[in-house]
Structure 1
Amino acid sequence: MAPLLTSPPPPEAIELRRWELADPAGLRALRASLHEAVTGEELLDGQSLDEVPELIALVATELATNALKHGIPPTVIRLLTIDESLILDVADHDLSTIPELSDTRPMGAGGRGLQIAMAVSLEVGWYATDRTKNIWASFPRR
């Protein structure tokens, strides 16, 4: 498995939407709101997503869950765009740790958010600011 890039997304990326979560109760609303931000259409109860919006929502909820579980709230999720790509950027406020890929945990034990992101996105990276630790993943805009 390739290591995570250690750089921020391109600085010319434009923020489309931003969400802040203080606890896991907001994950369902995040998923629906992300779908609307990516497709321009509301996600109805029981409706399935197209491939790219589904992958973005999957990675967003995995990374946000990790940030809520192991980071310091609030978790900030941003959807960015540049050229033909969408970039998901998830931040928490715990600067004492760095993201680590874990391939030694048994299946079902959790902690696979980064592996999922790396498997379904174009690129995955991380960076820190003076206040946050951020993980980002890019996807094709279709």
Structure 2
Amino acid sequence: MTATIYHNPDCGTSRNALALIRHAGVEPTVIEYLKTPSSREQLVMPIDEAMLKPREALREKGTPFAELGLDAPGITDDTLIDAMLKHPILINRPFVVTTLGTRLCRPSEVVLDILPPVTRPFAKEDGEVVIDANGKGGL
């Protein structure tokens, strides 16, 4: 299986999704999207494949969302995409693309939808159990 994660190492959700991917035995391509800005096509592709609207892929907290007026009525999808390209911190994370699909992995365990079955125990970095000792859990 191939996998790509659009990752922000400063984000706990992104770190947990990456750890779950590796726990499933998959070594993904890791794209630190804040260091390696996407082209318009590279940004739109995972949003479309995850069946989201650009507004659903926007991050508000800790970003220039409000200063840019992106909450104003009538803002077009193209305007939102342009803002995300100019300010990648506006892109919600992590997006994960595998041969089984594409998801915005918030919460991180959403990634289990697009990975091979995982039955070994796994806990997030804060200790929250995602898969217990009996192989139960997930979404």
| TM value normalised by structure 1 | 0.28
Give the structure with higher Rg (CA).
Answer: 2
- TM-score, scaled relative to structure 2: 0.28
Higher normalized strand content (fraction of residues): 1
